[in-house]
Amino acid sequence: MDLFEYQGKQYFSRFGIPVSPGGVAETVDEAVAQAEAAGYPVVVKAQVQVGGRGKAGGIKLANDSDEVRLHAGNILGMDIKGHLVERVWVERASDIDEEYYASFTLDRAAKQHLLMLSAQGGVEIEEVAAKDPDAIVRLHIDPVDGLSRDTARQAAVDARIPERAVDGVADILVKLYRCFVDGDCDLAEINPLILKPDGEVHALDAKVSLDGNAAFRHPEWEEYDKTEVLDDRERLAKEHDLQYIGLDGSVGIIANGAGLAMSTLDVVNQVGGNAANFLDIGGGANADVMAAALTVINHDENVRSIFVNIFGGITRGEEVAKGVVEGLRRVELRAPIVIRLDGTNAEEGRQIILDAGIPASKLISKPTMLEAAREAVRIANGGEGGA
Protein backbone atom coordinates (compact mmCIF):
# COMPACT_ATOMS: atom_id res chain seq x y z
CA MET A 1 0.00 0.00 0.00
CA ASP A 2 1.44 3.35 -1.06
CA LEU A 3 1.07 6.29 1.30
CA PHE A 4 0.52 9.89 0.29
CA GLU A 5 3.36 12.30 1.06
CA TYR A 6 1.59 13.73 4.10
CA GLN A 7 0.94 10.25 5.49
CA GLY A 8 4.55 9.31 4.82
CA LYS A 9 5.76 12.38 6.69
CA GLN A 10 3.49 11.62 9.62
CA TYR A 11 4.82 8.05 9.54
CA PHE A 12 8.41 9.39 9.51
CA SER A 13 7.63 11.60 12.50
CA ARG A 14 6.75 8.56 14.56
CA PHE A 15 10.28 7.31 14.09
CA GLY A 16 11.82 10.69 14.93
CA ILE A 17 12.74 11.66 11.37
CA PRO A 18 12.61 15.47 11.15
CA VAL A 19 10.12 16.91 8.65
CA SER A 20 8.91 20.48 8.10
CA PRO A 21 6.04 21.66 10.29
CA GLY A 22 2.82 21.44 8.33
CA GLY A 23 -0.58 19.89 7.95
CA VAL A 24 -3.01 18.42 5.47
CA ALA A 25 -6.03 20.28 4.04
CA GLU A 26 -9.03 19.32 1.95
CA THR A 27 -10.39 22.85 1.51
CA VAL A 28 -8.95 26.31 0.88
CA ASP A 29 -9.92 27.46 4.37
CA GLU A 30 -8.21 24.48 5.94
CA ALA A 31 -5.12 25.21 3.85
CA VAL A 32 -4.99 28.79 5.16
CA ALA A 33 -5.37 27.56 8.73
CA GLN A 34 -2.52 25.07 8.25
CA ALA A 35 -0.36 27.81 6.75
CA GLU A 36 -1.01 30.15 9.69
CA ALA A 37 -0.04 27.36 12.08
CA ALA A 38 3.11 26.43 10.18
CA GLY A 39 4.30 30.02 9.63
CA TYR A 40 5.03 31.79 6.32
CA PRO A 41 6.36 31.33 3.75
CA VAL A 42 4.75 27.95 3.06
CA VAL A 43 4.72 25.43 0.27
CA VAL A 44 1.35 24.11 -0.93
CA LYS A 45 1.79 20.58 -2.32
CA ALA A 46 -0.75 18.47 -4.21
CA GLN A 47 -1.21 15.04 -2.64
CA VAL A 48 -1.20 12.51 -5.46
CA GLN A 49 0.61 9.22 -5.86
CA VAL A 50 2.30 10.09 -9.12
CA GLY A 51 5.58 11.75 -10.05
CA GLY A 52 5.91 15.11 -11.79
CA ARG A 53 3.64 17.14 -9.49
CA GLY A 54 5.87 20.20 -9.63
CA LYS A 55 5.94 20.39 -13.43
CA ALA A 56 2.14 20.00 -13.48
CA GLY A 57 1.76 23.07 -11.25
CA GLY A 58 0.93 21.04 -8.15
CA ILE A 59 3.62 22.57 -5.90
CA LYS A 60 3.55 26.32 -5.15
CA LEU A 61 5.25 28.72 -2.76
CA ALA A 62 2.95 31.10 -0.84
CA ASN A 63 4.09 34.13 1.16
CA ASP A 64 0.76 35.08 2.72
CA SER A 65 -2.81 33.90 3.18
CA ASP A 66 -3.97 35.39 -0.14
CA GLU A 67 -1.37 33.39 -2.01
CA VAL A 68 -2.33 30.25 -0.09
CA ARG A 69 -5.95 30.82 -1.11
CA LEU A 70 -4.97 31.30 -4.73
CA HIS A 71 -2.71 28.26 -4.97
CA ALA A 72 -4.77 25.87 -2.81
CA GLY A 73 -7.84 26.87 -4.85
CA ASN A 74 -6.05 26.03 -8.08
CA ILE A 75 -4.44 22.82 -6.88
CA LEU A 76 -7.42 21.24 -5.09
CA GLY A 77 -9.47 19.47 -7.73
CA MET A 78 -6.61 19.55 -10.22
CA ASP A 79 -6.07 16.50 -12.42
CA ILE A 80 -2.45 15.38 -12.44
CA LYS A 81 -1.84 12.57 -14.92
CA GLY A 82 -5.29 11.14 -14.25
CA HIS A 83 -5.02 11.55 -10.48
CA LEU A 84 -7.55 13.88 -8.86
CA VAL A 85 -6.06 16.14 -6.15
CA GLU A 86 -8.31 15.81 -3.10
CA ARG A 87 -5.85 17.12 -0.52
CA VAL A 88 -2.92 19.48 -0.23
CA TRP A 89 -0.08 19.38 2.24
CA VAL A 90 0.90 22.83 3.53
CA GLU A 91 4.28 23.14 5.18
CA ARG A 92 6.79 25.80 6.17
CA ALA A 93 9.12 26.50 3.25
CA SER A 94 12.73 25.46 3.80
CA ASP A 95 15.95 27.14 2.76
CA ILE A 96 17.95 24.54 0.92
CA ASP A 97 21.73 24.36 0.65
CA GLU A 98 21.95 20.86 -0.76
CA GLU A 99 19.69 17.98 -1.77
CA TYR A 100 20.46 14.29 -1.17
CA TYR A 101 18.70 10.97 -1.72
CA ALA A 102 18.19 8.08 0.72
CA SER A 103 16.10 4.93 0.56
CA PHE A 104 15.74 1.46 2.03
CA THR A 105 14.23 -1.47 0.13
CA LEU A 106 14.48 -5.22 0.17
CA ASP A 107 16.88 -6.46 -2.50
CA ARG A 108 15.13 -9.64 -3.56
CA ALA A 109 18.13 -11.02 -5.44
CA ALA A 110 20.48 -10.60 -2.46
CA LYS A 111 17.69 -11.37 0.04
CA GLN A 112 19.02 -8.51 2.17
CA HIS A 113 18.08 -4.94 2.89
CA LEU A 114 19.48 -2.35 0.52
CA LEU A 115 20.41 1.22 1.37
CA MET A 116 20.75 3.59 -1.55
CA LEU A 117 22.32 6.92 -0.72
CA SER A 118 23.42 9.73 -2.97
CA ALA A 119 24.65 13.29 -2.60
CA GLN A 120 22.68 14.00 -5.79
CA GLY A 121 19.06 14.24 -4.68
CA GLY A 122 16.00 16.09 -5.83
CA VAL A 123 15.88 14.29 -9.15
CA GLU A 124 14.68 10.78 -10.03
CA ILE A 125 17.22 8.32 -8.66
CA GLU A 126 16.92 6.32 -11.90
CA GLU A 127 18.22 9.39 -13.71
CA VAL A 128 21.24 9.59 -11.40
CA ALA A 129 21.80 5.85 -11.82
CA ALA A 130 21.83 6.23 -15.60
CA LYS A 131 24.05 9.34 -15.77
CA ASP A 132 26.43 8.86 -12.88
CA PRO A 133 26.09 5.42 -11.27
CA ASP A 134 29.12 6.05 -9.06
CA ALA A 135 27.19 8.83 -7.35
CA ILE A 136 25.00 6.24 -5.63
CA VAL A 137 26.21 4.20 -2.67
CA ARG A 138 24.50 0.82 -2.58
CA LEU A 139 24.96 -0.91 0.75
CA HIS A 140 23.53 -4.32 1.64
CA ILE A 141 22.44 -4.83 5.22
CA ASP A 142 21.94 -8.25 6.75
CA PRO A 143 18.46 -8.14 8.32
CA VAL A 144 19.79 -10.14 11.28
CA ASP A 145 22.51 -7.57 12.06
CA GLY A 146 20.62 -4.41 11.21
CA LEU A 147 22.25 -1.03 10.51
CA SER A 148 24.66 0.47 13.05
CA ARG A 149 25.28 4.19 13.34
CA ASP A 150 28.92 3.70 12.39
CA THR A 151 27.96 1.91 9.19
CA ALA A 152 25.41 4.60 8.39
CA ARG A 153 28.05 7.30 8.94
CA GLN A 154 30.53 5.51 6.70
CA ALA A 155 27.89 5.24 3.98
CA ALA A 156 27.35 9.00 4.17
CA VAL A 157 31.10 9.57 3.85
CA ASP A 158 31.30 7.14 0.93
CA ALA A 159 28.46 8.99 -0.78
CA ARG A 160 30.64 12.14 -0.59
CA ILE A 161 28.14 13.97 1.56
CA PRO A 162 29.94 17.04 2.97
CA GLU A 163 31.45 16.74 6.43
CA ARG A 164 29.04 19.22 8.04
CA ALA A 165 26.05 17.10 6.98
CA VAL A 166 27.46 13.64 7.66
CA ASP A 167 26.25 13.26 11.24
CA GLY A 168 22.79 14.59 10.44
CA VAL A 169 22.48 12.22 7.50
CA ALA A 170 23.71 9.26 9.58
CA ASP A 171 21.12 10.04 12.26
CA ILE A 172 18.35 10.07 9.73
CA LEU A 173 19.57 6.88 8.06
CA VAL A 174 19.40 5.01 11.36
CA LYS A 175 15.89 6.33 12.00
CA LEU A 176 14.75 5.66 8.45
CA TYR A 177 16.04 2.11 8.75
CA ARG A 178 14.00 1.60 11.93
CA CYS A 179 10.99 3.00 10.10
CA PHE A 180 11.64 0.58 7.23
CA VAL A 181 12.01 -2.49 9.46
CA ASP A 182 9.74 -1.85 12.47
CA GLY A 183 7.31 0.08 10.30
CA ASP A 184 7.09 -2.86 7.86
CA CYS A 185 7.77 -0.83 4.72
CA ASP A 186 8.39 -2.24 1.25
CA LEU A 187 10.00 1.11 0.50
CA ALA A 188 11.06 4.04 2.67
CA GLU A 189 12.48 6.84 0.56
CA ILE A 190 13.47 10.46 1.16
CA ASN A 191 14.03 12.52 -1.96
CA PRO A 192 15.14 15.14 -1.39
CA LEU A 193 16.82 14.83 1.94
CA ILE A 194 17.94 18.42 2.45
CA LEU A 195 20.75 20.25 4.18
CA LYS A 196 19.67 23.68 5.41
CA PRO A 197 21.99 26.67 5.76
CA ASP A 198 21.94 26.22 9.55
CA GLY A 199 23.33 22.69 9.13
CA GLU A 200 20.13 20.83 9.92
CA VAL A 201 19.31 17.80 7.78
CA HIS A 202 15.69 16.88 7.21
CA ALA A 203 13.17 15.11 4.98
CA LEU A 204 11.53 17.38 2.42
CA ASP A 205 9.56 14.56 0.81
CA ALA A 206 8.40 11.11 1.89
CA LYS A 207 7.70 8.05 -0.18
CA VAL A 208 6.47 5.12 1.86
CA SER A 209 5.03 1.86 0.65
CA LEU A 210 3.72 -0.51 3.31
CA ASP A 211 3.71 -4.32 3.26
CA GLY A 212 0.05 -5.33 3.41
CA ASN A 213 1.00 -8.70 4.91
CA ALA A 214 2.10 -6.90 8.08
CA ALA A 215 -1.23 -5.15 8.64
CA PHE A 216 -2.09 -7.55 11.46
CA ARG A 217 0.52 -5.94 13.71
CA HIS A 218 -0.23 -2.35 12.70
CA PRO A 219 -3.75 -1.45 13.80
CA GLU A 220 -2.78 2.18 13.17
CA TRP A 221 -2.75 1.45 9.41
CA GLU A 222 -6.52 1.26 9.41
CA GLU A 223 -6.72 5.02 8.82
CA TYR A 224 -5.05 4.50 5.43
CA ASP A 225 -8.00 2.39 4.22
CA LYS A 226 -10.07 5.55 3.98
CA THR A 227 -7.66 7.29 1.61
CA GLU A 228 -6.48 4.27 -0.40
CA VAL A 229 -6.80 5.01 -4.10
CA LEU A 230 -9.38 2.50 -5.30
CA ASP A 231 -12.00 2.75 -8.01
CA ASP A 232 -15.61 1.74 -7.32
CA ARG A 233 -15.05 -1.80 -8.47
CA GLU A 234 -11.95 -2.21 -6.33
CA ARG A 235 -13.75 -0.85 -3.29
CA LEU A 236 -16.59 -3.33 -3.80
CA ALA A 237 -14.11 -6.17 -4.23
CA LYS A 238 -12.36 -5.15 -1.02
CA GLU A 239 -15.65 -5.32 0.86
CA HIS A 240 -15.99 -8.89 -0.40
CA ASP A 241 -12.39 -9.67 0.55
CA LEU A 242 -11.43 -10.50 -3.03
CA GLN A 243 -8.02 -10.12 -4.68
CA TYR A 244 -9.14 -7.76 -7.43
CA ILE A 245 -7.43 -5.18 -9.63
CA GLY A 246 -9.50 -3.08 -12.01
CA LEU A 247 -8.33 -2.74 -15.63
CA ASP A 248 -9.73 -1.07 -18.75
CA GLY A 249 -10.84 -3.95 -20.99
CA SER A 250 -14.16 -5.65 -21.66
CA VAL A 251 -13.50 -9.29 -20.69
CA GLY A 252 -14.22 -9.89 -17.01
CA ILE A 253 -11.81 -12.42 -15.49
CA ILE A 254 -12.28 -14.88 -12.65
CA ALA A 255 -9.54 -17.44 -12.01
CA ASN A 256 -8.31 -19.53 -9.10
CA GLY A 257 -4.73 -18.79 -8.16
CA ALA A 258 -2.70 -15.63 -8.75
CA GLY A 259 -0.50 -17.23 -11.40
CA LEU A 260 -3.45 -18.62 -13.34
CA ALA A 261 -5.27 -15.28 -13.10
CA MET A 262 -2.22 -13.45 -14.52
CA SER A 263 -1.95 -16.11 -17.20
CA THR A 264 -5.62 -15.64 -18.08
CA LEU A 265 -5.11 -11.92 -18.65
CA ASP A 266 -2.20 -12.74 -20.94
CA VAL A 267 -4.10 -15.30 -23.00
CA VAL A 268 -7.05 -12.94 -23.47
CA ASN A 269 -4.61 -10.35 -24.72
CA GLN A 270 -2.94 -12.85 -27.07
CA VAL A 271 -6.22 -13.58 -28.85
CA GLY A 272 -7.03 -9.91 -29.38
CA GLY A 273 -9.03 -8.96 -26.29
CA ASN A 274 -8.47 -6.92 -23.16
CA ALA A 275 -9.18 -7.93 -19.60
CA ALA A 276 -11.49 -5.78 -17.48
CA ASN A 277 -9.83 -6.94 -14.29
CA PHE A 278 -7.57 -9.31 -12.40
CA LEU A 279 -9.46 -11.47 -9.92
CA ASP A 280 -8.02 -14.41 -8.00
CA ILE A 281 -10.62 -16.34 -6.02
CA GLY A 282 -8.03 -18.64 -4.47
CA GLY A 283 -8.13 -22.39 -4.15
CA GLY A 284 -11.64 -23.00 -2.86
CA ALA A 285 -14.11 -21.84 -5.50
CA ASN A 286 -17.32 -22.32 -3.52
CA ALA A 287 -20.70 -20.75 -4.31
CA ASP A 288 -20.26 -17.83 -1.88
CA VAL A 289 -16.93 -16.80 -3.31
CA MET A 290 -18.12 -17.28 -6.87
CA ALA A 291 -21.27 -15.23 -6.24
CA ALA A 292 -19.20 -12.44 -4.69
CA ALA A 293 -16.79 -12.51 -7.63
CA LEU A 294 -19.64 -12.36 -10.15
CA THR A 295 -21.22 -9.46 -8.23
CA VAL A 296 -18.01 -7.44 -8.45
CA ILE A 297 -17.48 -8.20 -12.15
CA ASN A 298 -21.12 -7.38 -12.85
CA HIS A 299 -20.62 -3.93 -11.34
CA ASP A 300 -18.21 -3.07 -14.17
CA GLU A 301 -20.24 -1.62 -17.02
CA ASN A 302 -17.46 -2.18 -19.57
CA VAL A 303 -17.74 -5.95 -19.19
CA ARG A 304 -19.13 -7.69 -22.30
CA SER A 305 -18.17 -11.27 -21.42
CA ILE A 306 -16.91 -13.08 -18.34
CA PHE A 307 -14.15 -15.64 -18.58
CA VAL A 308 -14.16 -18.05 -15.64
CA ASN A 309 -10.88 -19.96 -15.74
CA ILE A 310 -10.64 -22.68 -13.12
CA PHE A 311 -8.09 -25.38 -12.61
CA GLY A 312 -9.34 -27.95 -10.14
CA GLY A 313 -6.63 -28.98 -7.72
CA ILE A 314 -7.65 -30.21 -4.34
CA THR A 315 -10.91 -28.38 -4.90
CA ARG A 316 -12.43 -30.82 -7.33
CA GLY A 317 -14.10 -29.93 -10.60
CA GLU A 318 -17.59 -30.87 -9.45
CA GLU A 319 -17.36 -28.61 -6.40
CA VAL A 320 -16.22 -25.72 -8.57
CA ALA A 321 -19.03 -26.39 -11.05
CA LYS A 322 -21.61 -26.40 -8.27
CA GLY A 323 -20.21 -23.08 -7.09
CA VAL A 324 -20.52 -21.55 -10.55
CA VAL A 325 -24.07 -22.80 -11.07
CA GLU A 326 -25.17 -21.63 -7.63
CA GLY A 327 -23.39 -18.29 -8.09
CA LEU A 328 -25.20 -17.82 -11.41
CA ARG A 329 -28.52 -18.43 -9.69
CA ARG A 330 -27.79 -15.70 -7.17
CA VAL A 331 -26.52 -12.97 -9.50
CA GLU A 332 -28.32 -11.63 -12.59
CA LEU A 333 -25.46 -11.04 -14.99
CA ARG A 334 -24.99 -8.33 -17.60
CA ALA A 335 -22.80 -10.54 -19.80
CA PRO A 336 -22.47 -14.24 -20.67
CA ILE A 337 -19.95 -16.49 -18.96
CA VAL A 338 -17.42 -18.56 -20.82
CA ILE A 339 -16.03 -21.21 -18.50
CA ARG A 340 -13.00 -23.38 -18.82
CA LEU A 341 -12.85 -26.08 -16.21
CA ASP A 342 -9.82 -28.31 -16.13
CA GLY A 343 -7.83 -30.45 -13.72
CA THR A 344 -9.12 -32.83 -11.07
CA ASN A 345 -12.58 -34.22 -11.96
CA ALA A 346 -13.09 -31.65 -14.70
CA GLU A 347 -15.33 -34.07 -16.66
CA GLU A 348 -17.73 -34.44 -13.75
CA GLY A 349 -17.73 -30.68 -13.31
CA ARG A 350 -18.54 -30.02 -16.93
CA GLN A 351 -21.38 -32.54 -16.70
CA ILE A 352 -22.86 -30.65 -13.73
CA ILE A 353 -22.80 -27.43 -15.73
CA LEU A 354 -24.45 -29.22 -18.66
CA ASP A 355 -27.12 -30.76 -16.41
CA ALA A 356 -27.94 -27.40 -14.85
CA GLY A 357 -29.64 -26.53 -18.14
CA ILE A 358 -28.36 -22.97 -18.24
CA PRO A 359 -28.95 -21.54 -21.74
CA ALA A 360 -25.88 -21.00 -23.90
CA SER A 361 -26.71 -17.29 -24.06
CA LYS A 362 -25.63 -17.19 -20.40
CA LEU A 363 -23.03 -19.91 -20.02
CA ILE A 364 -20.71 -21.51 -22.51
CA SER A 365 -18.24 -24.23 -21.60
CA LYS A 366 -14.96 -24.65 -23.49
CA PRO A 367 -12.40 -27.40 -22.89
CA THR A 368 -9.15 -25.40 -23.06
CA MET A 369 -7.88 -22.04 -21.85
CA LEU A 370 -7.15 -20.88 -25.38
CA GLU A 371 -10.56 -21.83 -26.82
CA ALA A 372 -12.36 -20.27 -23.90
CA ALA A 373 -10.32 -17.08 -24.27
CA ARG A 374 -11.14 -16.90 -27.98
CA GLU A 375 -14.85 -17.33 -27.29
CA ALA A 376 -14.87 -14.74 -24.49
CA VAL A 377 -13.03 -12.24 -26.68
CA ARG A 378 -15.30 -12.92 -29.65
CA ILE A 379 -18.34 -12.10 -27.53
CA ALA A 380 -16.68 -9.07 -25.94
CA ASN A 381 -15.83 -7.70 -29.37
CA GLY A 382 -19.47 -7.79 -30.47
CA GLY A 383 -20.14 -11.39 -31.40
CA GLU A 384 -23.32 -13.06 -30.18
CA GLY A 385 -23.21 -15.39 -27.18
CA GLY A 386 -24.04 -19.03 -27.53
CA ALA A 387 -22.48 -19.60 -30.94
Partner 1 sequence: MAIFVDENTKVVVQGLTGGQGKFHGLRNRDYGTKVVAGVTPGKGGQDVDGIPVFDTVAEAVAETGATAAFVAVPPKAAPAAILEAGSAGIGFIVCITEGIPAQDEARVYNTLVRDFPATRLLGPNCPGIISPGKCNIGITPSDIAQLPTPEGPNVGIVSRSGTLTYQALYELKQNGIGVSTCVGIGGDPVPGTSFVDCLAEFQKDSETHAMILFGEIGGSAEEEAAEFITATVTKPMSAYIAGVTAPPGRKMGHAGAIVSGGKGTAQGKMDALAAAGVHVGLNPTEAGDLMAGLLKDR
Where in the sequence numbering do the catalytic residues fall? 101, 189
Instruction: Compute the distance between CA of residue 4 and CA of residue 7 in angstroms, rounded to an integer.
Output: 5
CA atoms within 13 A on the CB side of 184: 13
Shortest spacing between CB 282 and partner 1, in angstroms: 9
* Contact call for residue 288 and partner 1 (CB under 8 A): no
Shortest spacing between CB 83 and partner 1, in angstroms: 13
User: For partner 1, which residue of 120, 191, 256, 295 counts as binding (CB under 8 A)?
Assistant: 256
* Contact call for residue 126 and partner 1 (CB under 8 A): yes
Shortest spacing between CB 314 and partner 1, in angstroms: 5
Which is nearer to partner 1, 167 or 184 (by Cβ)? 184
User: For partner 1, which residue of 18, 162, 284, 343 counts as binding (CB under 8 A)?
Assistant: 343
* Contact call for residue 123 and partner 1 (CB under 8 A): no
Give me the DSSP letters along 292-316. HHHHHHHT-TT-SEEEEEEEESSS-
Cα-based distances in Å from 148 to 110, 145, 161, 188, 191: 20, 8, 18, 17, 22
Site string for partner 1, 183-202 (x = CB under 8 A): -x-x----------------
Contact range with partner 1 by CB under 8 A, out of 84-92, 139-147, 222-230, 353-361: 139-147
User: For partner 1, which residue of 144, 150, 222, 226 counts as binding (CB under 8 A)?
Assistant: 144
Q: What is the greatest pairwise CA distance in the chain? A: 80
Query: Which 221-250 residues touch partner 1, going by CB under 8 A?
Result: 243, 245, 247
Nearest to 252 by CA among 335, 317, 312: 335
Contact 1, 228 (CB under 8 A): yes
Size of the site for partner 1 (CB under 8 A): 51
Cis peptide before 192 (omega within 30 of 0): yes
Contact range with partner 1 by CB under 8 A, out of 32-40, 53-61, 330-338, 367-375: 367-375
* Contact call for residue 59 and partner 1 (CB under 8 A): no
Cα distance from N-terminal residue to C-terminal residue, the chain = 43
Contact range with partner 1 by CB under 8 A, out of 5-13, 86-94, 321-329, 341-349: 341-349
Shortest spacing between CB 290 and partner 1, in angstroms: 16
Shortest spacing between CB 283 and partner 1, in angstroms: 8
Contact 122, 192 (CB under 8 A): yes
**Cα 248 to the chain's mean position, in Å?**
17
- Report long-range pairs for 259-264 (Cβ below 8 Å, ≥24 apart): 260/309, 260/311, 261/309, 263/369, 264/307, 264/309, 264/369, 264/373
Cα-based distances in Å from 240 to 37, 62, 210, 247, 290: 42, 44, 22, 18, 11
What is the contact surface with partner 1 in residues (CB under 8 A)? 106, 108-109, 111-113, 126, 142-144, 181, 184, 186, 211-214, 216-217, 243, 245, 247, 255-263, 265-270, 275, 278, 280, 283, 311-314, 342-344, 368-370
